[in-house]
Structure 1
Amino acid sequence: MPSIAHQQYEERLAAGRARREQCPRTRQADCVLHPQRDVVSMLRQTSAGRVPGLVPLRYQRMQASPFTFFRGMAMIQAADLACGPSSGMRLQLCGDAHLMNYGFFASPERQLMFDINDFDETHHGPWEWDVKRLAVSVVLAAREHGFSDEVAARAVCQLVGTYRRRMQDYARISQLELWYSKVGFEQLLTRAPNDSIRQQLLKLADKARGQTQEKLLPKMTVLDNGNLRLRDDPPVIFHMQQQDQVWGNDEHWLGDDQYQELLQPMLARYSHTLKEDRRTLLERFRLVDAAFKVVGVGSVGTRCLVMLLQDSYDQPLFLQLKEARNSVLEPYTQQCIHGHQGKRVVFGQRLMQAASDLFLGWTTGPGDRHFYVRQLRDMKAAPSLESFGNNESLIAFGQACAWALARAHAKSSGQAAELAGYIGQSDKFDQAIASYALAYADQVKRDFSVFTAALAKHEL
């Protein structure tokens, strides 16, 4: 007689398989576009509310290639996905699960882990959306390196196959085992398919271990009249000269000696979002300096600061304070339930990651702007797009990302068995996602042409 646990497992698998009736797996190949999609209008919409002087830099970075354009405009695919097929299963999503949003970082126990590392767009929604965004990014990365579509399709199939097999594994373990599971550096290293990829992993690990707070000190700071000060490196890092440029307030100026008055209340609000022991740790540091920091592609122009704090031994703590805007998924799913966009980001990150930053929290700034806070570059490292010089490295990295995404979806939803039941054990779902990814990558190329033409005509 089967155990109750086995019976429940089979029932959940069956429930997942039953969802194929309303949405067959082959339908996941459909590349559906939003009927009112307007790329230029969406670009203007996503630029609204950003620091005006940095919007051209955002467009400049997006203009580099279809891949960078895709990174910077998650909203377009979100609108299209909302019109496409869905199995009906919803869970916490990364919201922007492309290749460059995965990498290594340190757990609070200082173990090197591999996971999703960007949650600006995290939100509740159909699980397929994360898989499809990751798949399209693989095709775009393959094309950027001149690989054939046959290679790109194979990379996607192997990626989705990894997601499928990992989800089947997670469906068989308890919720507590799942909660404690992680993708560690050693696990990836032992599964590396060849010596070349092992060497790449070892180099990344060395880079990550060199990104400690102490080792950032000489890179990020200079001595100014005997005091430490963040090193200006415009347009990436610079001290704020005008408050209206950053906060949208025309009445006040922000001099180099006024950041304390602006940021101390934000730090006080932030500290109350930390666990008590971590709040006590934060209280042992004092704010020394702050500067504006331009980050990423999609985030360029949002308000992002780096703050230098020091303890009583003058040892550093670098915190990144990043503006949290509404998720691009929100118009197509449901309203944010957290009442604060920074809290939304923190909730999604804590729920989906195997372990999150010790200092992860949220706060509110001038003009009721929402922010989340985390350590800056704490043992963080990820491969660049240029490092995928051969298809084997691209395929291997895509599979690692798929493993991390499957673990995150299983952990955040508690529905691994239902997901495994829907996906099944054949490659039917893999092939469908590969077809979708190739077709949507073609659309991204067309959208990129619209974008570059609008720039040439000074419409943006």
Structure 2
Amino acid sequence: MKTGNPAATRAANGRARRSHMARAAQAQVGELRRDPIELLERNSQGRVERLLPLRYGRMLASPFTFFRGSAILQAHDLSKTPNTGMVMPICGDAHLMNFGGFATPERQLIFDLNDFDEVALGPWEWDLKRLVVSFVVAARHMRLARDTANALVHTIVSSYRDRMHQYADYSALELWYERITFELMVETAVTPERRRAIRRGMEKAASRTSESMLQKMAEFDGERWKIRDMPPGIFHLFGNNTLLDPTDEWLKLGNWEAFLRDMFEQYAQTLTHDRRALLRHFTAQDLAFKVVGVGSVGTRCLVLLMTDELGKPMFLQIKEARQSVISQYFDAQRLEHEGERVVRGQRVLQAASDIFLGWATAPSGRHVYIRQLRDMKLSANVELFDNNLLEGYARLCGWILARAHAKSSGHAIELAAYMGRSDRLAEALTEYSNAYADHVEKDYEIFWRACRSGRLEARTDEDMAADFHV
């Protein structure tokens, strides 16, 4: 009895999506009738009030930092345009700075997506559109020619398309085991300059460990290690330099040990048995608030310093998980716990995730997720890249995003068939990214005027640090 060809049927279903949304239609940006400041203010609700000026100050540095900190704007705008209807777990904020290197549990150094605060179910193309726009906005900030920016978009989309066709032939296990290691990146680099840059990155990552961070961030007082206050970037919740409001629910707990007590046990239960056993070798030494990134500024982010029986350190990051900007504008099934959403999304999208990745509910009901703060982690400083390195980085990002989507969805065949092998999607996304980058610059001007007029208060790290004497 003939059973047919399942792969051919799936490919036909993917091509049929073109009638739902033609590849050329991916160029649409839609009618952008909204107040960007109103959306940013909505996104700031519930954050630490005294850190909002720092959030806006970091965003004010350039249109690119503004773009990094305003994921809510593009999520809103994408929701006003058609989509392919192919829904899967997506990163939600796949701009070019949310890719990086880190060590797997087996101590392999790999490159992958590394920020999942906005992970959610959504149309796959939303991730690709955020990625290509980020390259165009960054290229303009770096004063690169328009043709160079367009070539970067074409590189990203072509890499994503070609890798997706490759993954369409992978078995489920082959795809699950696929990892983009630094060794593989060296092998596939097409120029000596790129190979040298990758090897330099490997050497730098190897030095970025908890032990190397201990001397920079903490000091031993004779009994235990204590994290140094460096406000506004790092401060103790219950210390003199705290930036929490005096009426904050967390401050009513009185000390950091009380803050951790119930929450840490919840967190441990989200780990596998062997990792709970490993965690028991560590004792908490100190807890502090640590401001990170651009878009995350003002959300609650803590660093917990722990040591094992030999006094060797490990830093854990306890980060607030709020509702994803994707789920605010795309109606799909949601998990009740936002920390669990981040963890589940990270595990399914990444090739390998941190062994201590888990979630819990913090005091006052805030959802958090927890992971190691630094474990051979590395990010690219694209502003120092020449055109050759930037083109290689664009190709790598397209490859990584294809791997993540193929793994998270199991629909590499359908995605490859929808895109085909022509440049139609690349051409459409080149048009989209240029048009949307124009809107980013307009939004930045509105944001700049709001800061200058006093509607929003924006302060730099240096300006806020001057308020403290530590």
TM range (shorter): over 0.9
1:216 aligns with 2:188: no
Q: Shift in Å at residue 34 of structure 1?
A: 4.2
What is the alpha-carbon distance in structure 2 between the residues aligned to residue 186 and residue 264 of structure 1? 42
Contact (CA 8 Å) 1:308, 1:317: kept in 2 or not?
Answer: yes
Q: Shift in Å at residue 33 of structure 1?
A: 3.5
- Which portions of structure 1, spanning 4 or more consecutive aligned residues, are displaced by more than 6 angstroms? none
Q: Shift in Å at residue 433 of structure 1?
A: 0.7
Q: Shift in Å at residue 227 of structure 1?
A: 2.5
Q: Shift in Å at residue 205 of structure 1?
A: 1.2
Partner secondary structure for residue 374 of structure 1:
strand
- CA, structure 1 residues 247+343, in 2 after alignment: closer, same or farther (shift >3 Å)? farther
Cross-structure match for 1:143: 140
Cross-structure match for 1:33: 31
Question: CA RMSD, aligned part only?
Answer: 1.9
| Equivalent of 1:258 in 235, 255, 260 | 255
Q: Shift in Å at residue 336 of structure 1?
A: 5.6
Q: Shift in Å at residue 335 of structure 1?
A: 5.5
Partner secondary structure for residue 325 of structure 2:
coil
| Equivalent of 1:451 in 438, 447, 453 | 447
Q: Shift in Å at residue 409 of structure 1?
A: 0.3
Q: Shift in Å at residue 339 of structure 1?
A: 1.1
Partner secondary structure for residue 189 of structure 2:
coil
Contact (CA 8 Å) 1:34, 1:79: kept in 2 or not?
Answer: no
Cross-structure match for 1:348: 345
For structure 1, which runs of at least 5 residues remain unmatched after alignment? Answer: none
Give the residue type in structure 2 aligned to 1:383.
Answer: A
Contact (CA 8 Å) 2:155, 2:395: kept in 1 or not?
Answer: yes
Give the residue type in structure 2 aligned to 1:84.
Answer: T
Cross-structure match for 2:127: 130
Contact (CA 8 Å) 1:106, 1:378: kept in 2 or not?
Answer: yes
Q: Shift in Å at residue 124 of structure 1?
A: 0.2
Q: Shift in Å at residue 407 of structure 1?
A: 0.4
- CA, structure 1 residues 357+252, in 2 after alignment: closer, same or farther (shift >3 Å)? closer
Contact (CA 8 Å) 2:129, 2:433: kept in 1 or not?
Answer: yes
Q: Shift in Å at residue 313 of structure 1?
A: 1.3
For structure 2, which runs of at least 5 residues remain unmatched after alignment? Answer: 457-470
What is the alpha-carbon distance in structure 2 between the residues aligned to residue 386 and residue 83 of structure 1? 32
Partner secondary structure for residue 146 of structure 1:
coil
| Equivalent of 2:199 in 202, 205, 222 | 202
What does the per-residue CA deviation read over 1:91-133, in whole Å, with 9 as the maximum and x for residues that have no partner? 0000000000001001111100110000000000000000000
What does the per-residue CA deviation read over 1:224-244, in whole Å, with 9 as the maximum and x for residues that have no partner? 244211122222111123699
Cross-structure match for 1:72: 69
Q: Shift in Å at residue 403 of structure 1?
A: 0.6
Partner secondary structure for residue 440 of structure 2:
helix
Cross-structure match for 2:373: 376
Contact (CA 8 Å) 2:50, 2:244: kept in 1 or not?
Answer: no
| Equivalent of 1:417 in 413, 427, 436 | 413
Q: Shift in Å at residue 312 of structure 1?
A: 1.4
Q: Shift in Å at residue 4 of structure 1?
A: 6.3
Q: Shift in Å at residue 330 of structure 1?
A: 1.0
What does the per-residue CA deviation read over 1:30-66, in whole Å, with 9 as the maximum and x for residues that have no partner? 111344x210101111111111111000000000111
Q: Shift in Å at residue 331 of structure 1?
A: 1.9
The number of residue pairs the alignment matches comes to: 455
TM-score (norm 2): 0.93
What does the per-residue CA deviation read over 1:250-307, in whole Å, with 9 as the maximum and x for residues that have no partner? 477469x821111122111110110111011111211110111000000001110000
Contact (CA 8 Å) 1:105, 1:379: kept in 2 or not?
Answer: yes
Contact (CA 8 Å) 2:121, 2:332: kept in 1 or not?
Answer: no
Give the residue type in structure 2 aligned to 1:12.
Answer: R
Overall identity of the aligned pairs, in %: 49
What is the alpha-carbon distance in structure 2 between the residues aligned to residue 203 and residue 230 of structure 1? 30
1:331 aligns with 2:328: yes
Q: Shift in Å at residue 139 of structure 1?
A: 0.4
What is the alpha-carbon distance in structure 2 between the residues aligned to residue 349 and residue 410 of structure 1? 14
Cross-structure match for 2:81: 84
Cross-structure match for 1:10: 8
TM-score (norm 1): 0.95
Contact (CA 8 Å) 1:171, 1:417: kept in 2 or not?
Answer: yes
Partner secondary structure for residue 19 of structure 1:
helix
What is the alpha-carbon distance in structure 2 between the residues aligned to residue 413 and residue 195 of structure 1? 35
